[in-house]
Amino acid sequence: MGAAPKRINTPEMATAAMLSIRAWQSGVRNGLVCPSCQDDRLQIVDKSARPHTAWFILICGSCGLDEALAITSSAHSSDHD
């Protein structure tokens, strides 16, 4: 039986994960840093299917990180009073 996958479980790891996701969204595909072990081979997969929440899968083959993060989009602004 294998070890349980690593998770993002501290505010510091969540911040590091967000920095990697933002870099990935801007087009960076290589050298993304794992929020757990700082290895530069982090893989990110966009699994978003709904307009108000983005879902990203973060996988690190080095330390075993396997995490899904949901990021809520900002509220829809309206020109209605």
Q: Indicate which CATH number applies to the domain containing 45.
A: 2.20.25
Q: Is residue 22 one of the residues assigned to a domain?
A: yes
- How many CA atoms does the CB half-sphere of 75 hold within 13 Å? 3
User: In terms of residue numbers, what domain contains 68?
Assistant: 11-72
Does the global pTM surpass 0.85? no
Query: What is the pLDDT of the chain when averaged over all its residues?
Result: 87
Residues whose CB is less than 8 angstroms from the CB of residue 47 and which lie 6 or more positions away in sequence, other chains included:
55, 56, 57, 68
Question: Which of residues 64 and 75 earns the better pLDDT score?
Answer: 64
- Identity of residue 68: A
Q: Is residue 57 one of the residues assigned to a domain?
A: yes
Q: How confident is the model at residue 56 (pLDDT cuts 50, 70, 90)?
A: very high
Q: Is residue 5 one of the residues assigned to a domain?
A: no
- Identity of residue 80: H
Domain count, the chain: 1
